[in-house]
Chain A
Amino acid sequence: MCLLKAERICKRYLKRDALREVSFTASPGEIIALLGRNGAGKSTLMNILTGYLAPTSGQVRICGHDMTEDSLKARACIGYLPEQPPLYPDMTVKEYLRFCADLKPIPESKKKSETERVIAAAGLGNWANRLSGSLSKGYRQRLGLAQALLGSPPLLILDEPGSGMDPLQMVQMRDVIRQAGETSTVLLSSHMLSEFTGICSRALVLEEGQAVYDGPLSALLRKKGELRVRYQGEDASMEAVSSLPGILSVSRQGDEIVIRYRPEADCGPAVYEAFKKMKGALAEMRDEKETLEDAFLRLTGKGAPES
């Protein structure tokens, strides 16, 4: 079943195309990372998916409801954390969440327990009676997330959920999103590509309003063509490695031997066998992969040309 379906979404502002024919679907249980640089169109896409903006053309369906024709039902299926948490500074954490719960399709009898659940889930227990205007940026972000989690909507759309958080808060935020992902489909955006690597199964990469990649996060990261080996033995024996087919160079960096090879050659097994035949001790061998940043630069054509 398709929980979110975006078809050929275009958004045009006067002279600029913010989004160009972006199409994708999301199934229940997926956690999708929406990646892209600042200004790539991530927030615009999210605002369209939540009904805050109307697309210039294209269609959005949430849980089978058309966002234009049946907006109220479509919006009832969404929990949304915008880029800047939409808080009322004159309301306490509890008052704010109760206000949001009253506007969401949550049965009257469950509103109190639901409010308490999201307060606990977002780690806001000690701040429940504090004015939201007095919270730090990280806690405001948590409160925004708690608001999105209210009512356990089938689809969570989180725009830069890690913004303004310290490393510990980031770990906690990832845990909350991972837990939410057990019951909801999550679409989260980030320009800090490594923030949510561990929890997302799929990536959608936007560049200048176009989707340049939509697929598994694991397939987004290619091999770098670089083996890093920790080996204790004679360097002279490296000749056996450097003469292997596909090897470009062998050098030493600190206590590691760096072996560069043609990525299409997949030299790992052959190098391993070569080291096994040597007299020294092979302590570690790593086949390096691209970081998300490298992959992103490659996809958008902004990185160094492929070897």
Chain B
Amino acid sequence: MKTLFLRELHGYFATPVGYVFLAMYTLLSGIVFVFVNIGQEMSASMNVMLSAMHLPFLLIAPLLTMRLFAEERRMRTDQLLFTLPVRTGAIVFGKFLAACVMLLIAMLLTGLYTLVISRFAQISVLETLCTYLGYYLLGTSLLSVGLLISSLCFNQMTAGVLTLGINVFLYLNEHYIQPQLTNRPWNVLGGLLSALPGQDRLGDFANGILSLSDLVYYLVFSFLMLFLTTRLLEARKHQRRRAG
């Protein structure tokens, strides 16, 4: 798994994808920090910046996941991976971990803003760390969705557009669909949709509380996506078509 993780991480930096993601994330978070944290809210809380960064992140997250499996299929390197003595789960987890590390690097870069703000205002270290942890977990759960989508697609552009569509749907679900469905007869649907990842579970993290239930939720959600991806890739052995 370590080998596959390192290979994937190498892939991010051997192509423009990794640099583009980090540049976009840093640029957008910088804009948000200047105009929202300092300009609009005049707040020392990193929750303000990370909360406002959620939508931009939903839009650029597909950059990290779209190529993970779709590119392997297009390049036919999946024929190498799936015929080597390596478990499918290890391949999936190695790729997921690499995407998570990219997100971690991006979020660590925004730690610079915390250092800037700490010179002018008092910040709560625990609250800041919990906020970062919450948004990181939310981010990784979205990456796990992107990984699943990539395993379904042959073309990375298709995977990217599909993941983007799902991420936008998750945003609309949280901000527009969920409030409409509350206390309606079709609340079962509301219940199902409320199980999807969103910012609504981050309240405790933002207040410096390590919410065990929300922590478990994000971990279980990601695990479920990785499990589905693994099963899907194994099931594809029965459906693949190759010339010959």
At the interface, is chain A mostly helix, strand, loop or mixed?
A: loop
Contact A80 B87 (CB under 8 A): no
Instruction: Select from chain A the residue with minimum beta-carbon distance to B7.
Output: A99
Whole-angstrom distance between the Cβ of A27 and the nearest chain B Cβ: 22
A250 at the interface (CB under 8 A from B): no
A103-B4 Cα distance, complex, nearest whole Å: 8
A42-B244 Cα distance, complex, nearest whole Å: 6
Which of B77-85, B145-153, B169-177, B197-205 lies on the face that meets chain A?
Answer: B77-85
Which of A48-56, A168-176, A224-232 lies on the face that meets chain B?
Answer: A48-56
Contact B82 A88 (CB under 8 A): no
Contact A90 B10 (CB under 8 A): yes
Contact A80 B242 (CB under 8 A): no
B119 at the interface (CB under 8 A from A): no
Contact B11 A88 (CB under 8 A): yes
Which residues from B are CB-within-8-Å of A159? Answer: 244
B240 at the interface (CB under 8 A from A): yes
A78-B84 Cα distance, complex, nearest whole Å: 8
A96-B173 Cα distance, complex, nearest whole Å: 43
Which residues from B are CB-within-8-Å of A52? Answer: 79, 82-83, 237, 240
Contact mask A64-79 → B, CB, 8 Å, 1/0? 0000000011011010
Whole-angstrom distance between the Cβ of B72 and the nearest chain A Cβ: 9
A102 at the interface (CB under 8 A from B): yes
Contact A75 B79 (CB under 8 A): no
Contact mask B57-100 → A, CB, 8 Å, 1/0? 00000000000000000011111111111110000000000000
A120-B12 Cα distance, complex, nearest whole Å: 30
> Which among B11, B14, B79, B84 is the interface contact of A104 at CB below 8 angstroms?
B84
User: Which residues 146-163 of A sit at the B interface, judged by CB distance below 8 A?
Assistant: 147, 159
Contact mask B211-244 → A, CB, 8 Å, 1/0? 0000000000000000000000000011011111
User: Which residues 71-123 of A sit at the B interface, judged by CB distance below 8 A?
Assistant: 72-73, 75-76, 78, 80, 82-84, 86-91, 95, 99-100, 102-105
- Chain B interface size, under 10 / 10 to 19 / 20 to 34 / 35 or more: 20 to 34
Q: Evaluate whether A86 and B79 lie within 8 angstroms (CB atoms) in the complex, with A13-B241, A41-B244, A42-B244 already known.
A: yes
B15 at the interface (CB under 8 A from A): yes
A266-B3 Cα distance, complex, nearest whole Å: 62
Which residues from B are CB-within-8-Å of A78? Answer: 83
Which residues from A are CB-within-8-Å of B11? Answer: 88, 90
Which residues from B are CB-within-8-Å of A89? Answer: 75
Instruction: Select from chain A the residue with minimum beta-carbon distance to B243.
Output: A43
Contact B3 A43 (CB under 8 A): no
Which residues from B are CB-within-8-Å of A86? Answer: 75-81
User: Which residues 102-135 of B sit at the A interface, judged by CB distance below 8 A?
Assistant: none
Contact A87 B77 (CB under 8 A): yes
A241-B237 Cα distance, complex, nearest whole Å: 62
A205 at the interface (CB under 8 A from B): no
A59 at the interface (CB under 8 A from B): no
Contact A44 B242 (CB under 8 A): yes
Q: Evaluate whether A103 and B243 lie within 8 angstroms (CB atoms) in the complex, with A75-B83, A147-B80 already known.
A: no
A95-B10 Cα distance, complex, nearest whole Å: 11
Q: Evaluate whether A43 and B84 lie within 8 angstroms (CB atoms) in the complex, with A86-B79, A88-B77 already known.
A: no
Contact B84 A75 (CB under 8 A): yes
For this complex, 6 residue pairs linking A to B, each with C-beta atoms less than 8 Å apart, are: A41-B244, A44-B244, A76-B85, A82-B76, A84-B79, A86-B81
Using CB atoms and an 8 Å cutoff, list the residues of chain A in contact with chain B: 13, 38-44, 46-47, 50-54, 56, 72-73, 75-76, 78, 80, 82-84, 86-91, 95, 99-100, 102-105, 147, 159
Using CB atoms and an 8 Å cutoff, list the residues of chain B in contact with chain A: 3-4, 7, 10-11, 14-15, 75-87, 237-238, 240-244
